[in-house]
Every structure is written in C-alpha cells, then in structure tokens.
Amino acid sequence: MGIRFILMVNKQGQTRLAQYYEYLTLEERRTLEGEIVRKCLARNEQQCSFVEHRTYKIVYRRYASLFFLVGVDNEENELAILEFIHLLVETMDRHFGNVCELDIMFHLEKAHFMLEEMVMNGCIVETSKNNILAPIQLMDKAS
C-alpha cells in the first residue's frame, strides 16, 4: 500500500478534504494534520516537495490557495506521487472548471467520488481522466 492519506488544506491550514487509507482515531488525525500542515506550509517555493514526518513521507504541492498533501510510505516513488497530485488537480479542473477551495467544500462528496475512482486502498486505480470522470458524468447526466 503506497498512499496512506490524501489531504487538501487551504492556506490557513484548514482541512478541506481528508481521505485516510489506514485507521487513525479522530484525535490522531487532528494532531497529525496539525503537525503536517505546520511543517509543510512553513516551507517556501524553492524547497523540495517532500517532507518526512514520523513514519510518513509527505509529498505536497500547492495550487493557488490550496495545498494537496499526500502521505506515502517510504518505498513510494515521490516524483510519481507529485505527478499523481497534478493528475488529480487536472481531473478536478476538468469537472469543476478551474477547481477552487469552494468547489471542493460545496461538493465534497463529488471530490470524494473522483478520488474513489483514482485511488483505492492506497493504490492508484486509474490514470485516465476520461475513465475517472465517466461514472460521475453519467450520474450528473442522469440527474
């Protein structure tokens, strides 16, 4: 299992989406998110996109006001995860049209549906945007 959690956090450090692929209690999640966000948001643009924290390696990327943070284990290819974050953003862009923090907040479940199509149990399932969005668009069309 490569990916252990995916977080979307705004500039202020508020979590906007959280998906864990391993069990953590609410309390543990809150502290973990707090620690990671503090660590990552303090870094500048030139510094590398990888931060080691506890047993996790966090790969993060900033898009405008939104940070995408992916916690992986040590064996994972960091550059590939970086590319995956970009793919996730592009997919969301295609659906929402230039995705922003509010899109994710107001359509939390949609964002989760997309994520569900891309990652399962910490593994990447699908990397084609068409395939990822097909079921979601079908639902939209139906409603």
Partner 1 sequence: MIKPKVVEPLNQVSTKMEDIDNQLPWIIWGSQFTITLEGRAVVNAQIQLYSNLNELMRLVCNETQDDDYCYFYRDMIRAIRACKTAAEERAVVRKECASIRAAVSDNDNDYRHRNLAKLMFIHMLGYPTHFGQMECLKSIAAPGFPEKRIGYLGLMLLLDERQEVLMLVTNSLKQDLNHTNQYIVGLALCALGNISSAEMARDLAPEVERLLQFRDPNVRKKAALCSIRIIKKVPDLAENFVNPVASLLKEKHHGVLLTAIQLCADLCTASEEALEYFRKKCTEGLVKVLKDAVNSPYAPEYDISGIADPFLQIRLLRILRTLGHGDADASDLMNDVLAQVATKTESNKNAGNAILYECVETIMSIEDSGGLRVLAINILGRFLSNRDNNIRYVALNILMKAISVDGQAVQRHRATILECVKDSDASIRKRALELVYLLVNETNVKPLTKELIDYLEVSDQDFKGDLTAKVCSIVEKLSPEKLWYIDQMLKVLCEAGNHVKDEVWHGLIVVITNATNLHGYTVRSLYRAIQTSGDQEAVVRVAVWCIGEYGDLLVNNIGMLDLEEPITVTENDAVDVIEVAIKCHASDLTTRAMCLTALLKLSSRFPSCSQRIKDIVNQSKGSLLLELQQRSIEFDSIIEKHQNLRSALVERMPVLDEATYSGRRTGSLPAVVSTSHGNSLQIPNGVPKTADAPLLDLLDLSADEPALQNSSGPNFLQDLLGGDILSSASQSGSTQPQKNGTDVLLDLLSTGSPPAQNGSSTADILSISQDNNIKSSVIALNSLSSPMVTSAQSTPASSIMDLLDGFGPTSTIPKDNGPAYPPLVAFDSSSLSLIFNFSKQAGSPQLTQIEATFTNKSSDIYTDFIFQAAVPKFLQLHLEPASSNTLPGGGNGSITQKLQVTNNQHGKGRKRVESSSSSSHE
Give the pairing type, strands 50-53 and 15-20: unpaired
Instruction: Mark the segment that binds partner 1 (CB under 8 A) among 62-70, 92-100, 125-133.
Output: 125-133
Tell me which residues in 57-96 interact with partner 1 (CB under 8 A): 77-80, 82-84, 86-87
Q: Quote the tokens at residue 89.
A: 């953003």
Q: Does 128 bind partner 1 (CB under 8 A)?
A: yes
Instruction: Mark the segment that binds partner 1 (CB under 8 A) among 44-52, 65-73, 92-100.
Output: 44-52
Q: Which of 18, 41, 89, 100 binds partner 1 (CB under 8 A)?
A: 18
Pinpoint the alpha helices (H) of 4-107.
26-41, 78-96, 101-106
Between vectors from CA 15 to CA 23 and to CA 49, what angle results, nearest 5°?
85
Q: Which is nearer to partner 1, 35 or 140 (CB)?
A: 140
CB contact set of 68 (below 8 Å; sequence gap of 6+): 6, 7, 8, 60, 61, 62, 85, 88, 89
Residues at the interface with partner 1 (CB under 8 A)? 1, 15-19, 21, 23, 26, 29-30, 33, 43, 46-52, 77-80, 82-84, 86-87, 105-106, 108-109, 112-113, 116, 120-121, 123-128, 130-131, 135, 138-140, 142-143
